[in-house]
Amino acid sequence: KQAQYAALRDEPAICKSGERIELNINAGLIVDLPHVHDSGADGVGLYRTELQFMMASRFPRLSQQIRHYEAIIEQAQGKPVTFRTLDIGADKILPYLRQPKEENPALGWRSIRMALDRPALLRLQLRALMMAAEGQPMKIMFPMIADIDEYRRAIEVVEIEKAHLLKRGHRLPAPLKLGAMIEIPSLLWQLDHLLPLVDFASIGSNDLVQFLFASDRGNPKLAGRYDPLSPAALGAMRLIVEKAAEHGKPVTLCGELGGRPLEAMGLIGVGLNSISMVPSAIGPVKAMLRTLDRQKLWKFMEPLLKSPLHTLRPELLEFAQRNGV
């Protein structure tokens, strides 16, 4: 199997029915970057910038942040990297940041909420990201957006930093693409307002599924209780895909879900053309999709998405076996 996956490295990720699927890796450390190349991925779909902050003993200075981002861009060797701004809180703790004790940290003062309340931190990070990519393409996305206003405010901070950099004689990244993560269910009813404002969107399926089912993503007692391959979760993904197509905006998925072949099949089935995953999953997912007739899968899935089934897992497994996927 390993040899088979390695042999696929330079083969295109094209479904049997002809659609090219973009396969990216999730990363958070400089040592992850060689995997973009050895896995044959298209790029880095999610770079979790908080890792650098979590391993430091104080907030990394501007120069340290710039060096870090420059190293990532350099090692990507021209493949696109989507940087996510700091996503601190809940499962991601900074030892040197005193945070108020909260009853429900996953639902608390975290991530973009904290960033908008402490704009100096966000500004510094945006400055570092843009300085690391002067004159080069750069993609930045914001985590845990719950309403349109939060995205608007985040973009305003980018504009302030752009003006700051220009005034000091820096060149801006070109093109600079900005996006929102869709990982809080409230956005499902705001897509017509959100999508016109973004250059791209990225589904954070770990949190989206956690919040859809009100089910802690890290609690072993709940693992497997609700299924991302349920009509509810897949229906949410399908809605996002449809709305993004209507608005002509690219959408990708960057939760860990994309890294399991059957799950990835379901995601491609609902129309996703771009998924990001652990590097070790690129080979297995590519092998899966090269045998997949996506049209046929969608015809099979569409009525099931309206069913009251707990999960479509057995149905998808049966489809895969019957069709040699």
DSSP helix/strand/coil, 203? strand
Exactly one of 43, 89, 179, 204 binds Mg ion (CB under 5 A); that residue is 204
Exactly one of 179, 204, 259, 283 binds ligand PEP (CB under 6 A); that residue is 204
Stretch of residues binding Mg ion (CB under 5 A), selected from 76-84, 186-194, 200-208, 211-219: 200-208
Beta strands in 7-137 (DSSP E): 22-27, 43-48, 81-84
Exactly one of 50, 207, 227, 263 binds Mg ion (CB under 5 A); that residue is 207
- Long-range contacts from 109-115, C-beta under 8 angstroms, 24+ separation: 110/144, 111/86, 111/87, 111/143, 111/144, 112/85, 112/87, 112/142, 112/143, 112/144, 112/145, 112/150, 112/154, 113/89, 113/144, 113/150, 114/86, 114/88, 114/89, 115/85, 115/86, 115/142, 115/154
Q: Are 194 and 180 contacting, i.e. CB atoms less than 8 angstroms apart?
A: yes
| Of residues 55 and 166, the one with the C-beta less far from ligand PEP | 55
| Of residues 204 and 228, the one with the C-beta less far from Mg ion | 204
Within positions 91 to 150, which residues make up the interface with ligand PEP, using CB under 6 A?
Answer: none
| Shortest separation between residue 207's beta carbon and ligand PEP, angstroms | 3
Pick what 46 binds: ligand PEP, Mg ion, none; C-beta below 5 to 8 Å, kind-dependent: ligand PEP
Query: Which tokens hold the place of 58?
Result: 């104080």
Exactly one of 44, 46, 194, 325 binds ligand PEP (CB under 6 A); that residue is 46
Exactly one of 87, 150, 161, 263 binds ligand PEP (CB under 6 A); that residue is 87
Question: Which residues are near ligand PEP by CB under 6 A?
Answer: 46, 48, 87, 183, 204-207, 254-255
Question: Which residues are near Mg ion by CB under 5 A?
Answer: 183, 204, 207
